Every structure is written in C-alpha cells, then in structure tokens.
Amino acid sequence: MAIDFISNWRSLTTGINAFPPAPTFALKNIFKAVEKHASDLIDWEVWTRTSKLASFVSDVEDPVPASKGTGTIYTVKIPKTSNIKMFTAAELERYKTLANAGYTSNVNDRLQAQANYIKDELQAEYLAVARTREYLAMTLLTKGTVTVGQNTITMNYESGKQIFTLDSTHKWNATGVNPMVAIDEYKRLIGKRANAVPNICILGENAAKSFVSNAEVRAELNANNFRTGVLDLTQGITDGSVIYLGTIRGMGFYEYLGNYDLSGTATDIMDTNSIVMLATDDSFRLHKAPIVKTDGVFQDDIYVRVAEDPYGNWKSWVIEQKSLPIVHNKNLVICSKVITA
C-alpha cells in the first residue's frame, strides 16, 4: 500500500526540512552559525573586556593578576511559531483524483502529480518559516529589539554605541553632505571597540537611493589618484531581495528590499531610512529549540503534525518550530537612521 503523504507526519516533517535553504540574506551571510538546544529557555553571557597589554615582569617578580572582565547573563525563551493549513474534503478528493487513470495512463506521472501537489503546499509553509527567521534576524540586527506575540526580545543595544540618528544637517539627503563621512566614523567605532573590521553595510531602500545618487560619493569613486572602491549598479538581486551595490573601503554595500505581507499590505522588513554596519563572525547565531509532544515526538527543527476531523470533513497540517537569531557581541554592530523621514 502506498504511503498517504498528506497524512504521514514523518514524511511531511522530513520533506519540509529537506528543501534547499531559502534565499535569505541575513541567515545565509550573517547568522550562519546554528546552535540546537534541548530546551527553549536559554542563557547567553556577554563579556566586557578591555584591550589591555600583557604585563612585563622581571625573572624574579610574581605574575600580575589578569582581569577577567565583567560578564552579564541574559535569559530568553526561544519563540514558537505555529500555523495550521486546512484541507477540505473537496480538496482531498481532488488530490486523490491525481492518482486515477483518468488523469494520465502513466502511473509514475500520476504519483509525481500527487508528489508535486504535496511539495507545493509544503514549500509554501517552509518559505513562511524561513521568511519569519529572516524577519527576526534583520529586525534584531537593525533595531536591537523585536516583539513576538506578547513578548519583547532585546539585544540590549545602547544609544550612541549601537543606535545612532544623524541630525538634520548631517542626514544623507541634506545639501552638501558626504555619506562616506558617517560610514568612515562608524567603521572606526566598530574597529576600536570590537577590534574587528566591518565587512558588510546594509542600506534600506531610501538610504540606498540617496547613497548611490550622492554627488560627493560619485566624485570620490571617480577620483583617479587613488582607488577608493566601485559602485556596481549592474548587479541583479543577490539573496532574498537584496541587491549588491558594490565594494567601498573593503566593505560590501547592499540594498535591502525584503518585505512581508501584513494583513494584505507589503511591509518592509528593514527601515528604509536606515543602515546597519557590522563585522561578521560566529557571534551572530541562529538558535533552535525542539518541538516536544506527549506521544514521544522530539523534533529539533520544523515539525509537521497531522490532525483530522473525526467526522471526515477535513484534514490539517500544523507547522511548528522554535528559533531565534541572537547577536552575541553587540559591539560588532552599528545601526543608524541616515535619511529624514
């Protein structure tokens, strides 16, 4: 007997986790490290240390005690998403007719048609999860805080350290302003406090428009006496609605255009008037917690549970997962509102 893939939770769970990674920029290029946990309640510790030198001593002197720095422990509960996809009796009947000889005489084609039906429905739910993880990653990265359900999760960003707002005379769309002045200053700040060189600068749509059209930026890039960088506006979309603009001062510039549907309205994931600059390392991590059920299910990624109306009117998939991107070293990040709204 053939397996009923629309009702078999093991096959559905395996299938949804087998799709190739979605084209999500932040998850692919920044939050690349993945940690799986046995619980959805996790702690992470942030250490503050100075850029000290080793102590010099003579051959007869005792070693100088080393400072351990100061550590702060944060506790967070990894949020859970859960969506239900309903299949009516009529929809299930159409699915079954794909296996009938009246559809096609080739039995393999009929089975493939059923498999494609399942794949399309399952992939739509996988992409919703991937889009949600990207939304969390970009929101926490660019704002330092995000609201999930009734809870607020924060990366504890501080004004003047991770969060900046340019005044009206220095906004990029003000007359005579050179955006590279702010770019260079933010780059120095990250370098000094984190001992790291920023390699990614992500621009919201309005910030990107102002940047690439700025006369000061264009004049600097056209200078023949030294090589500053190059804007390459011939590139297509790179990953998940992100356009590569070029490399300047050794840092990749990207315009972020990703959005999601909010009650029928396309909503930008990133503030269009802001930028975020960062130095990537394994401090940017995606944490996952398991889905645990009373029947012994322990699924450490996306789980698809199957439910059925006892009266035979419908079947459903419940798609669940728990994940949270975390910025473990906030000193690697600067976010700034650079355009007048």
What's the pLDDT tens digit per position in 60-114?
Answer: 888 888 776 667 888 899 999 999 999 988 888 887 777 665 556 676 777 777 7
**Fold adopted by 158-282+330-337:** capsid protein of prophage fold (3.30.1930)
**What pTM was computed for the model?**
0.87
Q: What is the mean pLDDT of residues 168-178?
A: 92
For the chain, give every domain's residue range.
Answer: 9-48+71-153+286-327, 158-282+330-337
Structure tokens at 128: 């919703």
pLDDT, averaged across the chain: 86
* Integer CA distances (angstroms), 15 to 28, 169, 197, 242, 317, in order: 21, 54, 40, 27, 13
pLDDT at 201 over 80: yes
285 by DSSP, 3-state: which? strand
Spatial CA neighbour of 256 closest among 267, 244, 247, 265: 244
pLDDT value of residue 239: 65
What's the pLDDT tens digit per position in 123-149?
Answer: 999 999 999 999 999 999 999 999 998
Residue 269 — φ and ψ, nearest 5°?
-70, -40
CB 331 within 8 A of CB 193: yes
* Domain covering 9-48+71-153+286-327 assigned CATH 3.15.30.10 in the classification: yes
In this structure, are strands 251-256 and 200-203 parallel, antiparallel, or unpaired? parallel
| Rounded CA separation 86/307 (Å) | 9
Q: What is the mean pLDDT of residues 27-40?
A: 93
| Rounded CA separation 110/3 (Å) | 14
Q: In 10 A of CB 266, how many CB atoms?
A: 8
